[in-house]
Structure 1
Amino acid sequence: MKNKQHSYVFLATLSLFLFSPLSAFATPLIDGGGSQGTLNDQLATWTESVNGFAPTVSFIFSAIFTIMFLTGVVRMGYSIVTKTGQVMKFSTGLLIWVPIAFFFIRVLIIILFTTNSNNVTLLASDIIDLIKTTGYFTSVGMVLIGLVLMLFYKLIEHPEFGRWSKRLWVTASLLTLLITIMPFVLGAA
C-alpha cells in the first residue's frame, strides 16, 4: 500500500515538472542581422549559460540530500520510540548511504569537470596505484590482526582464534598475490 502511495506522489511530481511551463534561453546559430558568429563563440555562449545554473543546481542537489538525511534522522527517532524494526532498518540505511552517495557524487563531478583528454591515463594509473597501495596496507593489517588472534589462541587456547588467524593469513597472502599479479595480467601495469 505504501509503495502505491509513493508511486502516486512520484507520478504527480513528474507530471508537474513535465507539464509546467519552462523558460528557454536560446541564441540562434545565425544572427538575423547578417553577422554570423563562429561555432566556438556559440559554444562559449552556451557554456556560460549552462555554467550560470551551476550554483542553483548545486544548492538543489545539496538540499535534496540534506532533506533525505534529516528524514532518516526523524525516522530513526520514531523507530527508537516505537521500537519498529522495519522503520529502523530503512532509516539506518538512509543515514549510512546518503552521506556516502553525496560524497561519491561530488567526487565524480569534480573528476568529470577537471579531467581532460591529456590526463585521463594519469587518473587511471593513479586509481590503480591507490587500489594497490590500499590492498597492501589491508594485507599488512590482516597479518597483524592474525598475529594478535594467534596470541589470544596461545594464551587461552580457544580454537576459534586459531582458525581466524589462519584465515586472515591465507586471505592476506591471496590479496597480496592478486594485487601484485592482476595489473600485469590485465595489461594495466
Structure 2
Amino acid sequence: MDHYNLVFPGIIFSFLFPLVAYTNPILKEGSGMSFNEQVVSWTNGINSLAPSVSFLFNAVFTIMFLFGIVRMGYSYVTKTGQVMKMSTGLLIWVPITFFFIRIFIIVLFTTNSKNVTLLASEIVTLIQTTGYYTSLGMVLIGLVLFMFYRFIEHPEYQRWSKRLWVGAAVSTLLATIAPLALGAA
C-alpha cells in the first residue's frame, strides 16, 4: 500500500519539473566549440594543475615517511612490537609506492599510440629475461646447497637444492613457453 502512495506524487513531480536531455551533454551548449577543441581546453586545464598536484603528491608521501620515522622512534623508546612492525611496513612501502607511481606517470605521459606496442614487447622481454636470470640464480644456489649437503650430509640441504632445481626448470619453461602460448612473442 505504501508503494502506491509514493508513485502518484512522483508522477505529478515529473510533470511539473520535466528533465531536459541534450544530445551532447559533454559540450557546453551554445559555445560553438567542437569536441576536439573542448578536449584541448580540458587538457590545458589539467596540465596547468600539474605543478601543484605534483607538489601535493610529494608532500603527502614525505609526510607519510616522516610519520613512519617518528613512529619507529616511538616504538624503540616504548619497546612496542606492533608499532615497530607497522612503522617498518610504512618505511618500506612508502618509497616503493612512490617509485612505482612516478614510473607509471612517466610511462603514461610519454607513450603514444605509436610506441605502446613497442613498450608492451619490451616489458614481455624484460619479464622473460628476468625469468632466465632467476633460474640461473636458483641453479647456482641449488649447487651451493648441494655442496653443503656433500660436506655435512644434512638431508635438508639436499631437499632444498632439489626444490631449487625444479623451480629453476619450471621458471625456465614458463619464461620460454608462456609468451609463445599467450601470443606475446
Q: Would you call these one fold, judging by a TM-score over 0.5?
A: yes
AA paired with 2:124?
I
Match of 1:96 in 2: 92
2:171 aligned with 1:186, yes or no? no
Give the aligned length.
159
Structure with greater Cα Rg: 2
The answer to which structure, 1 or 2, has the higher relative contact order (CA under 8 A, 6+ apart) is 2
1:106 aligns with 2:102: yes
**Structure 2 residue 69 is matched with structure 1 residue 77:** no
**Identity across matched positions, percent:** 68
Distance of 2:163 and 2:97 partners within structure 1:
32
Over the residues paired in the alignment, what is the CA RMSD in angstroms? 1.8
Change in CA separation of 1:127 and 1:44 when aligned onto 2, cut-off 3 Å = same
1:47 to 31, 43, 50: 43
CA contact (8 A) 1:29 1:42 kept: no
Partner residue in 2 for 1:149:
145
4+ runs of 1 displaced by more than 6 Å? none
d(CA) in 2 for partners of 1:167, 1:40: 58
Q: Distance in 2 between matches of 1:119 and 1:135?
A: 24
In the alignment, structure 2 segments of 5+ residues that lack a partner are 1-27
In the TM superposition, what is the alpha-carbon distance from 1:40 to its structure 2 partner? 3.9
Please state how far the C-alpha of 1:45 moved relative to its aligned partner: 3.2
C-alpha distance 172-182 of structure 1, shift in aligned 2 (>3 A): same
Q: If the length of structure 2 is used for normalisation, what is the TM-score? A: 0.79
Q: Which residue of 1 aligns with 2:161?
A: 165
Q: TM-score, normalised by structure 1?
A: 0.78
Alpha-carbon offset, residue 42 of structure 1: 4.1
- Separation in structure 2 between the aligned mates of residue 117 and residue 149 of structure 1, nearest angstrom: 49
